[in-house]
Amino acid sequence: MSSPLSPLDVLIRRVDPEVPLPSYAHPGDAGADLVTCEAAVLAPGERTVLPTGISVALPDGYAAFVHPRSGLAARCGVAFVNAPGTIDAGYRGEIKVIVVNLDPRESVRFERFDRIAQLVVQKVEKVRFHEVAELPGSARAEGGFGSTGGHAAVGGTTDGSTGGNRYASVVSDREGQ
């Protein structure tokens, strides 16, 4: 068995003196949970920017990504407008989270210090761009945006098949009106 990886040291500052520091719920977790320092209520379709009460100084060559929590998404329909939010190594401001309530009917309430997001720190490459007239060929070439099939179908119709190349169903709001 390989030995556990040694963690990266990251300087952190509490903008809100009472905020709990980000923490990993389990040893193998990719994301450290972040909380909101402000209570808020979001009506269906409403969005807001929530402060997390912390700022960090990431080493050069790293970035942090503010990811949503799946439980909040599944239970309440909360998404991040710009998911994942990118925290640059040079950013020293407070980390904020742009949340939106995608539930069509229910409001969502955030209390101070509710865990709302998770911060994933990753190495990132800096690239030098070399302009060319033609790019080298590849098996995929310009295929994209569903070129390989296997997604849902618009209109909610189904051919009765399961999985494979079947598309999922997107049902128009206007249907049945």
Known binding positions for substrate: 69-71, 82, 86-88
Please give the Cα distance from 92 to 169 (Å, whole number): 43
Residue 86 near ligand DUT by CB under 6 A: yes
Residue 122 near ligand DUT by CB under 6 A: no
Distance in Å from the first CA to the final CA of the chain? 61
Among 40, 42, 54, 87, binds ligand DUT (CB under 6 A): 87
> Minimum CB separation from ligand DUT for residue 92, in Å?
9
Please give the Cα distance from 108 to 48 (Å, whole number): 12
Residue 73 near ligand DUT by CB under 6 A: no
Please give the Cα distance from 61 to 23 (Å, whole number): 22
> Minimum CB separation from ligand DUT for residue 82, in Å?
5
Would you say 31 and 97 are in contact if contact means Cβ atoms under 8 Å apart?
A: no
Residue 167 near ligand DUT by CB under 6 A: no
Residue 85 near ligand DUT by CB under 6 A: yes
Please give the Cα distance from 60 to 19 (Å, whole number): 26
> Minimum CB separation from ligand DUT for residue 159, in Å?
40
Would you say 84 and 66 are in contact if contact means Cβ atoms under 8 Å apart?
A: yes
What does the binding site for ligand DUT look like in residue numbers (CB under 6 A)?
Answer: 66, 82, 85-88, 91, 95-98
